[in-house]
């Protein structure tokens, strides 16, 4: 069913039960026509997803649940053993990622908005996925963002591994004035990328580990609200994308000890049109984004493409767009953006992952679906 058909068939669509939306679109691309079809439905505000080795998918739901989706698209029951979340606003159960040694240890990491004294903040931890996939056993918290704050915005967060025994977590700066201005300060975790060992301890070579008054977990700072992240499989570099205010969504290559400028400089302006900080786009000592979007796309989940199914996409990064309801492809050449291609899906895209079959899988937040995108006529994964 096309989007046009859906618009014309409102009388029918109103009668469909929850989870019965069936996405079926043909998308034009520079690589040829693509089919975008429902792979799984019936999810509730999905936020993050991760493929398991056998092709099943772990999906987090913002309200605090996580489920397994089978390789044929069947959605399972809630997985037990997850932490309590402060669900509300932008908070809830957020990202999910597999330990690089998952095949041996079955360790699954998640981030969530954690309630506590003084409000809430982003936390991270892991559990062992049971053999039947029904539970996360022995859940262990490895990180809590400090300070807690009584708000419901800008928790971040994405989890990225560097393949060298380290865990990177992108964090938000909690949005409100004046707390957002602390993203530039090193005595807190607001608006930071933190780097940890897999057990949550601090690596001895973190940039501020010996600096008095600085949080030793910090790897980079001056971020706004990180919503996408991925490791480039070709270079091994860590990348995060973040929301700007009114303009200025950023894609950043993450450097050790670097300042990314928020809330002193920005390619955007405040929502009321007033300047951000100094009113400038950059400043001495600030690491500029590799790419920025003005107007914003509402940058969300991010992945690099290295499969053979669509050779023309190799090396590209893909980004979910919450505001534009698009999937955006950046053509990457030597670490720079050489071009852009957009696919209008008409859905808020919360996450995007490359599947084991080489197709792209996106989380459509509002309709609670996973949509598979692949060349027209290619075989489905299930």
Annotated catalytic residues are: 154
Whole-angstrom Cα distance, residue 193 to residue 350? 20
Residue among 365, 379, 316 nearest 342 (CA): 316
Whole-angstrom Cα distance, residue 357 to residue 305? 12
* Alpha-helix residue ranges (DSSP H) falling in the chain: 3-8, 10-13, 102-105
| Residue 146 buriedness (CB in 10 A; 0-12 / 13-18 / 19+) | middle
Residue among 192, 190, 285, 193 nearest 238 (CA): 193
The 10 Å Cβ neighbour count of residue 364 is 25
Q: How far is CA 243 from CA 163, 293, 294, in A?
A: 26, 9, 11
Q: Classify residue 246 by its DSSP letter.
A: B
**Residues in the chain, total:** 382
């Amino acid at each position: 069913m096309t989007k046009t058909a859906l618009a014309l068939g409102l009388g029918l669509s109103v009668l469909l039960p929850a989870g019965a939306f069936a996405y079926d679109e043909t998308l034009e691309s520079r690589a040829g026509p693509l089919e975008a079809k429902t792979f799984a439905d019936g999810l509730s505000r999905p936020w993050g997803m991760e493929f398991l080795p056998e092709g099943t998918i772990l999906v987090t739901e913002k309200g605090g649940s996580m489920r397994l989706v089978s390789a044929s698209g069947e959605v399972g029951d809630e997985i037990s053993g997850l932490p309590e979340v402060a669900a509300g606003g932008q908070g809830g159960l957020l990202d999910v990622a597999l330990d690089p040694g998952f095949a041996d240890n079955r360790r699954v990491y998640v981030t969530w908005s954690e309630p506590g004294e003084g409000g809430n903040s982003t936390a991270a931890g892991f559990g062992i996925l049971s053999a039947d996939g029904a539970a996360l056993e022995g859940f262990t918290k490895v990180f809590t963002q400090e300070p807690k704050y009584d708000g419901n915005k800008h928790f971040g967060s994405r989890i990225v591994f560097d393949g060298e025994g380290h865990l990177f977590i992108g964090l938000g700066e909690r949005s409100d004035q004046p707390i957002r201005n602390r993203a530039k300060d090193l005595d807190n975790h607001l608006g930071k990328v933190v780097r940890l060992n897999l057990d949550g301890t601090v690596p001895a070579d973190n940039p501020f580990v010996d600096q008095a008054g600085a949080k030793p977990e910090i790897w980079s700072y001056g971020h706004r609200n990180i919503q996408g992240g991925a490791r480039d499989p070709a270079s091994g570099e860590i990348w995060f994308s973040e929301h700007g205010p009114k303009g200025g969504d950023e894609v950043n290559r993450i450097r050790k000890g670097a300042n990314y400028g928020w809330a002193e400089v920005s390619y955007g302006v405040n929502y009321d049109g007033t300047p951000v900080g100094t009113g400038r786009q950059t400043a001495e000592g600030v690491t500029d984004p590799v790419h920025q979007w003005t107007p914003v796309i509402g940058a969300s989940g991010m992945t690099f493409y290295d499969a053979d199914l669509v050779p023309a996409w190799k090396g590209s990064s893909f980004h979910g767009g919450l505001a534009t309801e698009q999937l955006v492809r950046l053509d990457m050449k030597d670490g720079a953006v050489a071009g852009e291609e957009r696919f209008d899906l008409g859905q808020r895209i919360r996450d995007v992952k490359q599947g084991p079959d080489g197709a792209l899988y996106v989380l459509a937040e509002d309709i609670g679906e996973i949509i598979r995108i692949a060349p027209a006529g290619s075989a489905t994964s299930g």
